[in-house]
């Protein structure tokens, strides 16, 4: 790994690499070796102020919001190509800074450039101005950029989730202050470099890693018009409260406790094993991970056995090893959290069927074995609270209605899957689920063309799709004389 990718001394503010206001540094520790592998400056409130001032000036007085959609699209297209070229570097940094298995890192990096591609294509044809007529009155509905966006991303997919915010914000004509997380701050420096090289004007994108204190300063800063946040539900509630006090625009993509509903006409054992495998991506540190597998009670024993057999054979180890599927958790505190939930077995009455410990062959690193929990009731904490680790609960149900009841019995509503021998039956069940996204029989919808987000405490708003662009636009209605506005494709006459 090249030194300049892992050791950064500056922030990207106002189109330049600038020295930090303070002298502190944040050491980036490898989750697999527990050794320091990188370093970034520790941002201060003054650094955030500088970044917001640069974004504010770029929005109020700079060219970006005043460029045509085609001109902005050209820059996004160039950014997409540059990011595609740098995918291997991003993947390598992710493996170092957060321990994502190198075999799985491309699943993250491969989705970054397509988001920029998509929004570049979308805004070339998007109807930013719409004419509405009624009798002799005419309204011009203009989609204005919301302004300066504070984008806060989590450690588990830092560049992917930054792209989900930055690409549509830029497409809309906004400017951005991006705050990467302290656990994995390095990979988003590559995003900044690519955007700079693509020709994004000075101040349009600013990248300042930081902790919770500077993140809250960004949220409450009078110079930001909207906050886009991905992270824990607890942090999201705090951000929503702060934005509510200021009537500031906010979109939130938060936690999940996603369920897989396996119906009685499906191949229960095979699907359970496949769901266990899928849930282990990024060591289970995925908000949309399926962590509750609901299976027919009459097939429960066989399903549990199939899931446990699959989990016990998943390769756990050094994330640099291409054969590894499950790497370490991001930090010691995260391992402690996961182990705390597994330790509730005696208190709650569930069974640790397989896993639950630390791999004996890995004396260093924050590892937890792939873990399957049996005899789980949906009221238990392990079924209700987001664990964010390689832990899956297998829960019995007594038919379709009961499966729907269990799946919806959650404060979260991010994602779900339905598995049925009869696809039409599966679709009917999917329509009853209170989640932002559902997959029937493995038919994954075409991201980034479709929206992603959640119901209930899984968040507010949507990312990706045309809905993701709308998050960064404000409708502005202008009444105009009829002779001033020509008939357009938006004219309903």
Considering the candidates 193, 287, 386, 463, report the single residue annotated as catalytic.
287
Please give the structure tokens belonging to residue 486. Answer: 């020509």
Is the distance from CB of 433 to CB of 407 less than 8 angstroms?
yes
Strand partners, 392: 372
Three-class secondary structure assignment of 386-440? CCCCCEEEEEEECCHHHHHHHHHCCCEECEEEEECCCHHHHHHHHCCCCCCEEEE
Please give the structure tokens belonging to residue 201. Answer: 């004007």
Is the distance from CB of 369 to CB of 359 less than 8 angstroms?
yes
Is the distance from CB of 464 to CB of 451 less than 8 angstroms?
yes
Please give the structure tokens belonging to residue 440. Answer: 């029937």
Q: Please state, in angstroms and as integers, the Cα–Cα distance from residue 257 to each residue in 212, 236, 429, following that order.
A: 24, 16, 18
Nearest CA to 250 among 113, 404, 429, 453? Answer: 453
- The separation between the first and the last C-alpha atoms of the chain, rounded to the nearest angstrom, is 61
Q: Catalytic: 348?
A: no
Cβ atoms within 10 Å of 126's Cβ, excluding its own: 17
Buried b (16+ CB within 10 A) or exposed e, 417-439: bbbbeeeebbeebbebbbbbbbb
Is the distance from CB of 219 to CB of 150 less than 8 angstroms?
yes
Q: Catalytic: 253?
A: yes
Nearest CA to 94 among 161, 48, 152? Answer: 161
Please give the structure tokens belonging to residue 68. Answer: 């045509």
Considering the candidates 96, 97, 193, 253, report the single residue annotated as catalytic.
253
Active-site amino acid positions: 253, 287
């Amino acid at each position: 790994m090249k030194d300049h990718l892992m050791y950064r001394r500056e922030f990207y503010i106002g189109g330049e690499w600038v020295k930090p206001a303070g002298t502190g540094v944040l050491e980036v520790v490898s989750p697999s070796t527990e050794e320091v592998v990188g370093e970034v400056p520790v941002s201060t409130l003054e650094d955030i102020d500088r970044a917001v001032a640069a974004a504010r000036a770029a929005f109020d007085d700079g060219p970006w919001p005043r460029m045509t959609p085609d001109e902005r699209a050209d820059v996004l297209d160039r950014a997409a190509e540059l990011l595609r070229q740098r995918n291997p570097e991003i993947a390598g940094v992710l493996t170092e800074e957060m321990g994502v298995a190198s075999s799985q890192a491309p699943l993250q990096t491969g989705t970054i450039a397509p988001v920029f591609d998509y929004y570049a294509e979308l805004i070339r044809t998007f109807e930013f101005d719409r004419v509405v007529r009624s009798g002799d009155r005419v309204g011009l509905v203009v989609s204005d950029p919301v302004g300066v966006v504070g984008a806060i991303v989590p450690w588990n997919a830092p560049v992917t989730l930054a792209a989900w915010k930055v690409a549509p914000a830029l497409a809309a004509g906004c400017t951005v202050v991006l705050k990467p997380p302290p656990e994995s701050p390095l990979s988003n420096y590559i995003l900044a470099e690519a955007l700079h090289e693509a020709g994004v004007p000075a101040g349009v994108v600013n990248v300042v890693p930081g902790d919770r204190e500077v993140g809250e300063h960004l949220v409450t800063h009078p110079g930001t018009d909207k906050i886009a946040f991905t992270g824990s539900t607890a942090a999201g509630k705090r951000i929503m409260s702060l934005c509510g006090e200021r009537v500031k625009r906010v979109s939130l993509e938060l936690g999940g406790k996603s369920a897989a509903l396996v119906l009685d006409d499906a191949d229960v054992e095979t699907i359970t094993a496949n769901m266990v495998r899928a849930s282990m991506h990024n060591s289970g540190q995925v908000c949309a991970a399926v962590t509750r597998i609901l299976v027919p009670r009459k097939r429960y024993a066989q399903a549990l056995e199939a899931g446990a057999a699959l989990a016990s054979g998943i390769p756990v180890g050094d994330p640099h090893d291409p054969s590894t599927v499950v790497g370490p958790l991001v930090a010691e505190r995260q391992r402690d959290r996961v182990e705390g939930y597994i330790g509730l077995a005696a208190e709650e009455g569930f069974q640790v069927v397989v896993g639950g410990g630390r791999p004996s062959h890995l004396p260093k690193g924050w590892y937890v074995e792939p873990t399957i929990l049996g005899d789980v009731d949906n009221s238990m904490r392990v079924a209700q609270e987001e664990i964010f680790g390689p832990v899956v609960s297998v829960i019995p149900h007594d038919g379709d209605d009961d499966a729907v009841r269990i799946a919806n019995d959650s404060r979260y509503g991010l994602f779900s899957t339905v598995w049925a021998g009869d696809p039409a039956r599966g679709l009917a069940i999917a329509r009853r689920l209170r989640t932002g996204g559902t997959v029937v029989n493995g038919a994954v919808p075409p991201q980034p063309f479709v929206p992603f987000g959640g119901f209930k405490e899984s968040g507010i708003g949507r990312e990706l799709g045309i809905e993701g662009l709308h998050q960064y636009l404000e409708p502005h209605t202008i009444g105009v004389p009829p002779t001033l506005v020509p008939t357009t494709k938006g004219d309903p006459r």
